[in-house]
């Protein structure tokens, strides 16, 4: 029996390889078509935790010889992304190392790469802080980078595009068109942006010429069947067996997010000191799941509280605390999803004149990172739900308590502690 490390099977914070699950045929077809179309750039978007990076990296490994990944932060610039990608190309252009077997990089491009690399290093050595003052030489343009990537048959993936500042997004979009044009010389050159919901619209709005040259692909929440497949693959690899009720509950709590599915399965294994494939079959029962849930909740308590507070924070005096009102209504819903009209009806039981326009605006805001990304909308039926069941249960516990916390810091702490005790009890005692 082949041994596997447990954290290489269940991977909540990295791309799944051993437990990769093929997604819906429609999504697979869209991705393959875009990858096979010369000059077609790609934008993958969807809610955090739906497996966007896992999906595209696994697909790229089937079609490309190599992948270069750059990750964006709130302080990233397009120049910084250029430098990061250029740095990662060194393995393909350094004379002492071997480029990929099927790539044929011309001597001219190698010389050009070496010249630019020397300029960057010279600029770094003359600065007092090389980590903060890296200078992009004039020769390192998006077009030149596209040529380097194309010759090395590398695909460039940019993760978390949505985190860039607006002015950097504009530059990003403008330079994506450069990659489109470079495809006439290097047909395989590809730039793939991965971001949150709304990312695709932003790119095309910043440069309208990209409208027919970029494939915009929504990666939806994982289906129940896909989440079950993750668990079933993990069972075979680790020689374990989750009781059927345990699998059903993990899928329920995951709410379409692969990252939560992986985390709960990993917690169960670690709680039972399983760190690699077992020599004998191990069965996990509901009691094991309860321990895993409690561990998950405690380790994410600050995050849950922070997301809820961002969602309900009042930035200036308004007639309504819109975030709080909407979440309270959504927490009362017993369905898998609630329509705009149904939410408005629930809200107006308490706020008779609540404006429909407020509900429309803040339902959108509550799906953004600035508001904790606590709400999501089903693309197929338009219904709204909490983005994960833990946020819903936490909200229910808050609204079951006093509507407003006391001003006394000790009283606030007491109430918050009571909320979390109730929250853990509510989650772990679900039937």
Q: CA neighbours within 13 Å on the CB side: how many for 3?
A: 7
Task: Give the Cα separation of 48 and 195 in Å (integer).
Answer: 8
Task: Give the Cα separation of 279 and 161 in Å (integer).
Answer: 43
Would you state the pLDDT for residue 419?
A: 67
Q: Would you list the DSSP string of 141-170? A: -HHHHHHHHHHTTEEEEEE-GGGS-HHHHH
Question: Residue 7: is it exposed, middle or buried by C-beta count within 10 angstroms (0-12/13-18/19+)?
Answer: middle
Would you state the pLDDT for residue 376?
A: 84
Residues with Cβ within 8 Å of residue 332, at least 6 apart in sequence: 346
Would you state the pLDDT for residue 379?
A: 66
Q: Where are the domains of the chain?
A: 22-218, 224-299, 301-428
- Nearest CA among 165, 168, 119 for reference residue 140: 119
Q: Identify the H or E element spanning 240.
A: strand 240-242
Residue 320: count other Cβ atoms within 10 Å of its Cβ: 17
Cα radius of gyration rounded to whole Å, the chain: 24
Task: Give the Cα separation of 333 and 337 in Å (integer).
Answer: 8
Do residues 156 and 191 make contact, with C-beta atoms less than 8 angstroms apart?
yes
Would you state the pLDDT for residue 430?
A: 57
Task: Give the Cα separation of 204 and 180 in Å (integer).
Answer: 14
pTM of the shown model: 0.77
Would you state the pLDDT for residue 394?
A: 80
Would you state the pLDDT for residue 91?
A: 85
Q: What are phi and psi of 172, to 5 degrees?
A: -60, -50
Q: Would you list the DSSP string of 271-300? A: HTT--B--SS-EEE-HHHHHHHHHHHHHHT
Residues (pLDDT < 50) of the chain are: 96-102, 126-132, 403-409, 412, 431
Q: What is the pLDDT of residues 166-185, one digit of tens each?
A: 889 888 888 888 999 999 99
Alpha helices by DSSP H, 14-51: 25-36
Would you state the pLDDT for residue 202?
A: 62
Q: What is the pLDDT of residues 292-301, one digit of tens each?
A: 888 887 788 7
Do residues 369 and 199 make contact, with C-beta atoms less than 8 angstroms apart?
no
Q: What are phi and psi of 327, to 5 degrees?
A: -65, -35
DSSP 8-state code for residue 210: G
Strand partners, 44: 194, 217
The DSSP bridge pattern shows strands 384-386 and 375-377 to be antiparallel
Rounded to a whole number, what is the largest CA-CA distance in the chain? 74
Residue 115: count other Cβ atoms within 10 Å of its Cβ: 12
The CATH number of the domain covering residues in 22-218: 3.40.50.300
Would you state the pLDDT for residue 71?
A: 94
**Positive/negative CA dihedral, 76, 201, 390, 277:** negative
What is the residue whose two structure tokens read 């079933």? 232
- Nearest CA among 150, 185, 181 for reference residue 68: 150
User: Which long-range CB contacts under 8 A does 245-248 form with residues at least 24 apart?
Assistant: 245/286, 246/284, 246/285, 246/286, 246/288, 246/289
């Amino acid at each position: 029996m082949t041994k596997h490390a447990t954290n290489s099977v269940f991977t909540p914070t990295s791309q799944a390889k051993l437990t990769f699950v093929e997604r819906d045929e429609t999504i697979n077809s869209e991705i393959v078509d875009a990858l096979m179309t010369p000059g077609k750039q790609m934008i993958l978007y969807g809610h955090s935790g739906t497996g966007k990076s896992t999906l595209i990296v696994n697909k790229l490994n089937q079609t490309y010889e190599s992948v270069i990944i750059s990750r964006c932060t709130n302080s990233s610039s397009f120049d910084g992304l250029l430098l990061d990608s250029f740095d990662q190309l060194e393995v393909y252009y350094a004379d002492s190392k071997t480029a990929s077997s099927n790539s044929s990089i011309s001597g001219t491009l190698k010389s050009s790469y070496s010249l630019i690399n020397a300029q960057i290093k010279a600029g770094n050595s003359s600065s007092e802080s090389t980590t903060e003052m890296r200078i992009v030489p004039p020769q390192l343009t998006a077009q030149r980078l596209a040529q380097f990537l194309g010759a090395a048959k590398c695909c460039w993936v940019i993760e978390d595009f949505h985190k860039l500042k607006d002015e950097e997004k504009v530059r990003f979009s403008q330079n994506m068109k450069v990659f489109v044009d470079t495809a006439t010389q290097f047909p395989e050159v590809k730039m793939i942006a991965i971001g949150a919901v709304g990312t695709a619209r932003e790119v095309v709005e910043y440069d309208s010429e990209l409208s027919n040259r970029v494939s915009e692909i929504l990666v939806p929440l994982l289906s129940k069947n896909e989440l079950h497949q993750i668990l079933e693959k993990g069972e075979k690899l680790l020689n374990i067996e989750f009781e059927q009720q345990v699998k059903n509950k993990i899928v329920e709590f995951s709410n379409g997010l692969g990252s939560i599915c992986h985390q709960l399965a990993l917690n169960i294994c670690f709680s039972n000191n399983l760190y690699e494939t077992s020599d004998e079959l191990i069965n996990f029962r509901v009691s094991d799941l309860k321990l895993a849930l409690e561990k998950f909740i405690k380790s994410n308590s600050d995050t849950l509280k922070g997301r809820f507070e961002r969602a309900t924070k009042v930035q200036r005096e308004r007639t309504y605390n819109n975030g709080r009102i909407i979440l309270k209504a959504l927490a009362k819903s017993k369905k898998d999803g609630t329509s705009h009209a149904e939410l408005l009806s629930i809200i107006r039981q308490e706020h008779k004149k609540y404006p429909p326009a407020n509900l429309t605006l803040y339902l959108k805001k509550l799906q953004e990172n600035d508001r904790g990304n606590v709400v999501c909308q089903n693309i197929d039926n338009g219904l709204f739900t909490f983005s994960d069941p833990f946020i819903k249960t936490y909200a229910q516990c808050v609204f079951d308590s006093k509507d407003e916390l006391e001003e006394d810091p000790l009283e606030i702490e007491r109430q918050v502690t009571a909320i979390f005790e109730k929250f853990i009890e509510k989650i772990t005692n679900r039937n």
